């Protein structure tokens, strides 16, 4: 292998390791193909063995997976209140389901990575989407929370864990070069999938319920249609997505995962890495609060004011949840380029600072809202979603700087993802209990406090870095040495 090819191969391996969701053994990556790359839309470079239509199938799989994840989270409150007729301790139940699902997902990601060594990445992706579709079909047929609703939620979590793990793994299989454009396509597909679920899929039960007004037939039929269609599409995607270019030897991913966590935790001594970890904690918590507790609060609001009753599908709640989630995600998605540019050309801490301010400006006043469906509440939710996207982008940039040893990228990525999972576990359970015992906006108040902590922490880290760099420059000048350049570490 010549020097250029060796450099490209090493660079590609490091990019795989720097991804938040990477649990694949990157040592199994193929050498960079000497054949010229194929192009998707005449611009995005792909490996020569990947047809552009196969890449489109992969991007559509990402879109579908995120749409299903958002859909089941958004309609979960309707299953709980509308189908099961539960109207007490609903916050604790939703929080507990999220907690158990995330615990299973932590194990599921590693297990699916091992399975991919045997059945291929496209096989895992297709199976996971099929599982998620099957769970969506089954969800309205539950008759109790424990164990039926919990079991279906756990199976869905296993599927969603595998689909998210395979996104990055398959990206490394299809991307030619650094993979930045392919990564951008995955991010756009994810955001569009979430927006599509909120604006379109959430409305399917409402429209069908107009034709079937009795009981929960509309909700049942819509879940059957969406889940069944997803299962069929999963089978088609299996034959459409790109195959693995070569077989990889089985690897003990469990052992490697804990080794990465150990190294990643030790890296917390670098303040910027610590800031990135903290941003992951609250960014993932933002995600679970918006997708779960927002819909639950809206459903409870309509039940308490008499517009809906427990035990029957609430069309008003579904329409309001669709508007709040859909428009907020759409606007927030449009702000992502600004945070990306800020993380690239400004000190990285500034992006976290702005995301924290925006998120707090949305969370705290919304927590004390009387009507969560008002136009003012929509503005607050848009700020919350914008803060969430900004925190994700800026936080990932914090753990991808030049101040990190490239050999530690995989460890820091795994730790970043693990701490994000802890954020879901802690905030979902605590927020659920406070939702029932204190006030409906308690989960959002917790997030607001978290965003304020991120504002303070990002400011402290920036000031600390400023004085450290200033001291080093003075010392270098005294010693007659060229002062170090820090522009790449912004």
Q: Which of 93-97, 252-256, 266-270, 479-483 has the lowest mean pLDDT?
A: 479-483
Q: Are residues 297 and 440 in contact, defined by beta-carbon separation less than 8 angstroms? A: yes
Here the tokens at position 8 are 């490209």
pLDDT above 70 for 44: yes
pLDDT tens, 116-134?
888 888 999 999 999 999 9
Reported confidence tier of residue 452, pLDDT bands at 50, 70, 90: very high
**Distance (Å) of CA 196 to CA 153, 164, 188, 412:** 21, 18, 12, 32
Is residue 434 left, alpha or beta, with left meaning phi > 0 and alpha meaning psi from -120 to 50? alpha
Whether 50-244 shares its CATH topology with 261-480 is answered yes
Reported confidence tier of residue 281, pLDDT bands at 50, 70, 90: very high
Q: Would you state the pLDDT for residue 167? A: 81
Cα 226–chain centre separation: 21
Q: Would you state the pLDDT for residue 26? A: 41
Reported confidence tier of residue 32, pLDDT bands at 50, 70, 90: very low
Average pLDDT over residues 300-307: 92
- What CATH number has the domain spanning 261-480? 1.20.1250.20
Q: Which of 142, 147, 181 is nearest to 43 (CA)?
A: 181
Reported confidence tier of residue 258, pLDDT bands at 50, 70, 90: confident
pLDDT tens, 306-328?
888 888 888 889 889 999 999 99
Greater pLDDT, 184 or 271: 271
Reported confidence tier of residue 179, pLDDT bands at 50, 70, 90: low
Average pLDDT over residues 169-184: 70
CA distance 171 to 16: 9
CA distance 439 to 432: 10
CA distance 97 to 417: 20
Report DSSP letters for 57-121, one per residue. Answer: HHHHHHHHHHHHHHHHHHHHHHIIIIIS---SSHHHHHHHHHHHHHHHHHHHHHHHHHHHHHH-H
Q: Which of 196-210, 245-259, 275-289, 443-457 has the lowest mean pLDDT?
A: 245-259
CA distance 444 to 363: 5
Q: What class has domain 50-244?
A: mainly alpha
**Distance (Å) of CA 191 to CA 63, 386, 391:** 8, 12, 15
Q: Would you state the pLDDT for residue 21? A: 40
- Angle between helices 294-304 and 315-345 in degrees, nearest 10: 150
Q: Are residues 222 and 204 in contact, defined by beta-carbon separation less than 8 angstroms? A: yes
Report DSSP letters for 241-307, one per residue. Answer: SPPPSS------HHHHHHHHHHHHHHGGGSHHHHHHHHHHHHHHHHHHIIIIIHHHHHHHHHHHTTS
Q: Which of 124-128, 237-241, 386-390, 406-410 has the lowest mean pLDDT?
A: 406-410
pLDDT tens, 351-374?
999 999 999 999 999 999 999 999
pLDDT tens, 127-154?
999 999 999 999 999 999 999 999 999 9
Average pLDDT over residues 245-259: 71
- Chain-wide mean pLDDT for the chain? 84
Q: Are residues 9 and 1 in contact, defined by beta-carbon separation less than 8 angstroms? A: yes
Domain residue extents for the chain: 50-244, 261-480
CA distance 298 to 321: 7
Average pLDDT over residues 193-203: 91
Reported confidence tier of residue 232, pLDDT bands at 50, 70, 90: very high
User: Is residue 14 exposed (0-12), middle (13-18) or buried (19+ Cβ within 10 Å)?
Assistant: middle
pTM (2 decimals)? 0.83
Q: Can you name the residues that pair with 46 across neighbouring β-strands?
A: 38, 175
pLDDT above 80 for 189: yes
Average pLDDT over residues 1-29: 39
């Amino acid at each position: 292998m010549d020097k250029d090819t060796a450099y490209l191969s090493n660079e590609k391996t490091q990019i795989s390791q720097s991804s938040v969701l990477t649990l694949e053994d990157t040592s199994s990556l193929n050498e960079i193909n000497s054949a010229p790359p194929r192009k998707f839309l005449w611009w995005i470079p792909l490996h020569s063995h990947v047809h552009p239509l196969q890449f489109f199938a992969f991007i559509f799989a990402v879109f579908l997976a995120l749409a299903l994840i958002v859909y089941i989270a958004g309609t979960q409150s309707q299953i709980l209140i509308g189908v099961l007729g539960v109207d007490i301790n609903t916050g604790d139940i939703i929080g507990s389901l999220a907690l158990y699902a995330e615990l299973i997902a932590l194990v599921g990601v590693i297990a699916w990575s091992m399975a991919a060594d045997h059945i291929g990445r496209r096989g895992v992706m297709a199976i996971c989407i099929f599982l998620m579709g099957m769970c969506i079909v089954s969800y309205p047929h539950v008759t109790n929370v424990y164990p039926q609703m919990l079991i279906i939620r756990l199976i869905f979590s296993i599927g969603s864990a595998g689909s998210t793990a395979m996104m990055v793994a398959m990206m490394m299989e299809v991307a030619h070069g650094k993979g930045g454009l392919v990564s951008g396509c995955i991010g756009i597909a994810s955001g569009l999938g979430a927006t599509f679920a909120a604006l379109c899929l959430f409305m399917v039960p409402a429209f069908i319920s107009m034709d079937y007004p009795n009981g929960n037939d509309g909700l049942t039929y819509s879940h059957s249609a969406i889940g069944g269609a997803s299962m069929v599409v999963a089978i088609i995607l299996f034959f459409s997505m790109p195959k693995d270019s070569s077989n990889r030897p089985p690897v003990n991913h469990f052992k490697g995962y804990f080794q990465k966590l150990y190294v990643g935790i030790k890296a917390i001594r670098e303040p910027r890495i610590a800031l990135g970890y903290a941003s992951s904690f609250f960014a993932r918590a933002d995600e679970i609060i918006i997708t779960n507790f927002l819909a639950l609060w809206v459903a409870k609001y309509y039940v308490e004011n008499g517009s809906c009753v427990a035990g029957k599908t609430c069309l008003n709640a579904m329409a309001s949840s669709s508007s709040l989630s859909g428009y907020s995600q759409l606007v927030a998605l449009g702000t992502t380029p600004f945070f990306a540019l800020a993380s690239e050309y400004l000190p990285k801490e500034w992006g976290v600072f702005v995301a924290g301010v925006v998120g707090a400006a949305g969370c705290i006043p919304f927590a004390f809202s009387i009507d969560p469906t008002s136009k003012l509440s929509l503005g607050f939710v848009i700020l919350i979603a914008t803060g969430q996207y900004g925190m994700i982008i800026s936080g990932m940039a914090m753990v991808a700087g030049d101040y990190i040893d490239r050999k530690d990228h995989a460890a820091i990525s795994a730790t970043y993802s693990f701490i994000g999972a802890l954020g879901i576990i802690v905030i979902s359970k605590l927020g659920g209990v406070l939702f029932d015992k204190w006030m409906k906006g308690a989960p959002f108040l917790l997030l607001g406090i978290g965003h304020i902590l991120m504002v303070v922490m990002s400011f402290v880290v920036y000031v600390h870095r400023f004085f450290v760099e200033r001291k080093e420059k003075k010392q270098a000048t005294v010693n007659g040495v060229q002062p170090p350049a820090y522009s790449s570490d912004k």
